[in-house]
Structure 1
Amino acid sequence: MTRSAANRALRAVGLVVLVLMVGSAGAAFRCGNSLVDIGDWPVEVVERCGEPDYVAVYPAQSVPGLGITETIEHWYYNPGPQGLIRRLEFRNGELRRERSLGYGFYPSTARGCNSRFLREGLSEFEVVRRCGEPLSERIYWRAFGHSRYRGTGSSVTVIPVKEWLFEFGSNEFRRVVILKNGLVTEVRSDDKPR
């Protein structure tokens, strides 16, 4: 075997190993000493990971006369500052997605919210733990993307959007925090008189 053929074979083996690692990374993830897999029931996740630190529930579908027929839940786990916050997404009682967010924090440091803390990229969990529940909120669904050709499939994604209103005292304007799919995407001043 020539040197170039050996290099090609080695690269091919490396590529196969990389593909297998990437493919398996999305299928299961470690929670303590246990594995949690996409498709698991909420009770199975609690048995392996414990109770979540925060849960946000969204109505995903409603039928006139019946009400909400489908929900989405975001479960957040905070491992502290040495690990990444993990968000699990359940749809109708089935684990559908897992996402790692920024570094966690000690619960004792989750205080002292001010208007400068609110910024893009924070999760709803981080905002609530640091700032408490908002004064008021709105939840709606928005379609993002576009249809490529009229009448044929589309690349439109519908995600939950929340608007939260926070107050920081009489010397500051209220802040409106826009969260798309559980993450802060915009913070603006609500300059209306109170």
Structure 2
Amino acid sequence: MNRLNCFVFLFCLLFSGTTFALRCGHSLVQPGDYKEEVIDKCGEPDSVESHYERRGNVNRADVSQFNFNGQRRFPSNSFNYGQSNYAEIEVFVEEWIYDFGSLRLRKLLRFENGRLKEIENRGKGRYRR
């Protein structure tokens, strides 16, 4: 039973929200934060790369065959019709790298339109004097 409790604890720890966060001093940076908040907590990044990405978005609006009473609105041989549109949007992406030294992992922070979307580990940091 003790092993099971330990496994459940580690599993919960692995998938808790704060494990996907970055600790800068006494502050915690996590997805959803704005760039200004991250700079206030962690300082300036070691490197910054930025680019635009075009993404497609499909919106579809279907017209149901049934009305609010649950009765058929159209004859049984009719079909659903609807409208769909495809729109491309441009997303401004910035990738920041923080190198906290050889005792910690380097971190890549990915921002989309000014908000932090994800934090990735980038291997061992470099030695600093």
The TM-score normalised by the length of structure 2 is 0.64
Letter in 1 for 2:41: R
SS, match of residue 87 in structure 1: strand
Contact 2:97 2:109 in 1 (8 A): yes
The CA distance in 2 between the partners of 1:58 and 1:76, in whole Å, is 15
Structure of higher RCO (CA pairs closer than 8 Å, 6+ residues apart):
2
Q: 2:29 aligns with which of 23, 36, 60?
A: 36
List structure 1 runs of 4+ shifted beyond 4 angstroms.
Answer: none
Letter in 2 for 1:60: E
Aligned pairs, number: 96
Whose Rg is larger?
Answer: 2
- Hey, what does 1:85 align to over in structure 2? 106
Q: How does 1:1-194 map to 2 (within 5 A)?
A: 9-24=1-16, 25-26=19-20, 28-61=21-54, 69-106=90-127
Can you list the C-alpha shifts for 1:124-174, whole angstroms capped at 9, x where unaligned? xxxxxxxxxxxxxxxxxxxxxxxxxxxxxxxxxxxxxxxxxxxxxxxxxxx
Deviation at 1:82, TM superposition (A): 2.7
Contact 2:102 2:128 in 1 (8 A): no
- In structure 2, list runs of 5 or more residues that go unmatched: 57-88
- Between the two proteins, what is the percent identity of the paired residues? 37
The TM-score normalised by the length of structure 1 is 0.44
Deviation at 1:102, TM superposition (A): 2.1
CA RMSD of aligned residues (A): 2.5
Contact 1:61 1:71 in 2 (8 A): no
The CA distance in 1 between the partners of 2:4 and 2:128, in whole Å, is 47
Can you list the C-alpha shifts for 1:51-108, whole angstroms capped at 9, x where unaligned? 1111111211179xxxx72121110111123322111011111111111212222579
SS, match of residue 18 in structure 1: helix
- In structure 1, list runs of 5 or more residues that go unmatched: 1-8, 109-194
